[in-house]
Amino acid sequence: MAVTLADVAARAGVSSATVSRVLNSNYPVADTTRNRVLRAVDELEYVVNGPASALAAASSDLLGILVNDIADPFFGIIAGAVQGALEGRQCTAQGGPEGLQGGPVPQKLAVVCNTGGSPERELTYLTLLQRQRAAAIVLTGGAVEDPEHSAALATRLRRLAAGGTRIVLCGRPPLEGTGTEQGAGPGTSQRAPHSAAEHAQGGASGTVLTVAFDNRGGAHALTAHLLTLGHRHVGYVAGPPERTTTRHRLEGHRAALAAHGGLDTEQAERLTVHGGGYDRSCGYEGARELLRRAPETTAVLAANDTVALGVCAALRDMGLRVPQDVSVAGFDDLPFSADASPSLTTVRLPLHEAGARAGRLALGTLPPPPGGVTTVSHELVVRASTAPPRTGD
């Protein structure tokens, strides 16, 4: 049986009118009472009336963009592209936005919420955006692989979507229980085909759309490139182990090793270091740990381009040259990658394209993909930081 407004009122020990005031934010309510009502809503997984909330959400000018780290260019590029889509701007061939002078007027107010990678903050921001009746929300970056958090996240996203808020995941896989199944690929549908009316509205009520990256395929291509050059001792400085991005890229790396008759599981584990984050310091410390553990390493894959810079710095401080002594490869092809010294071999992800697509899906100006999931392509970019290993290695 569906949970009703009266059920929430009974759990919170208030009247139904008070619950309505809290959910609609149309009348002052004491903070203690408001918190009690919102806690009851969460505990009962109450979903507000869809049609009524859809009308309210449709009048909102707010779009929330959740990022793990606003200082990371990866998230800045995606967030900028989402906002550009809201303003009707296009991206240049280099990925930057067109000039703003005399440009179109923004259609929505974009609010960037920096979670710092905290699952608790992610849930809190979603609750705050729900209170503000956000018209749409775009969640970016890899998800935390924790069953309890995943369940809580799915509940909030279902509640938001049922209330008329468009939800788009950008750069993370589909989430079970939100309209598409984990691991669903392009063309895989979990429901009947969208009607023309649903296309016009940007998707069916309650559906969470996904713009995913092919992290497995990209890591596979990087590892295959290094193996083709002749490397047989390929190390990996990975990101946080609890993130989907880390797992998928590591799976692609190890699949390439297996396909080329590479290392066994024990050797692969010894040559893998989890840096703990996606920043330069994690790359620096991770590379030192990797070379201490496996001094025979002749090539290093990094969790992303920023981590790769830290790897290169550590190798220089250890008296090793890149790529003469150790080859290094990154991931994402962030703007500085081509200007690094040496320039970074990496996998290019179309961050601007993905962000712009997520923005248009959030606006409802782009028809949803089949099954609610679209996976953007990757491209191997070979530069000066990788070369064949030294003779005799």
CB 136 within 8 Å of CB 363: yes
Encoded tokens for 10: 């009974």
Please report which confidence band the pLDDT of residue 262 belongs to, taking 50, 70 and 90 as the band edges.
Answer: low
- Helix axes of 244-259 and 215-229: crossing angle, nearest 10 degrees: 40
CB 340 within 8 Å of CB 65: no
Encoded tokens for 248: 């998928």
pLDDT of residue 59: 53
The dihedrals phi and psi of 211, each to the nearest 5 degrees, come to -115, 105
The average confidence (pLDDT) of the chain is 85
Please tell me the distance from the alpha carbon of residue 74 to that of residue 89, in angstroms, as a whole number. 19
Residues 274, 278, 281, 284, Cα dihedral to 10°: 50
β pairing state of 136-140 and 166-170: parallel
Residues 8-60 pLDDT 10s: 899 999 999 998 888 776 678 898 998 898 888 878 877 665 455 544 544 57
Q: What is the mean pLDDT of residues 64-90?
A: 91
**Closest to 81 measured CA to CA, from 73, 70, 89:** 89
Please report which confidence band the pLDDT of residue 108 belongs to, taking 50, 70 and 90 as the band edges.
Answer: confident
Question: Hey, what amino acid is at 113?
Answer: C
Q: What is the mean pLDDT of residues 79-106?
A: 65
Q: What is the mean pLDDT of residues 124-153?
A: 93
- In percent, the amount of the chain with pLDDT more than 90 equals 65
Ranges of H-type helices in the chain: 5-12, 16-24, 31-44, 50-58, 73-86, 119-131, 147-162, 196-201, 215-229, 244-259, 265-270, 280-293, 305-317, 351-363
Residues 167-214 pLDDT 10s: 999 999 998 866 544 333 433 333 333 333 333 333 444 589 999 999
pLDDT of residue 106: 64
Q: What is the mean pLDDT of residues 149-167?
A: 91
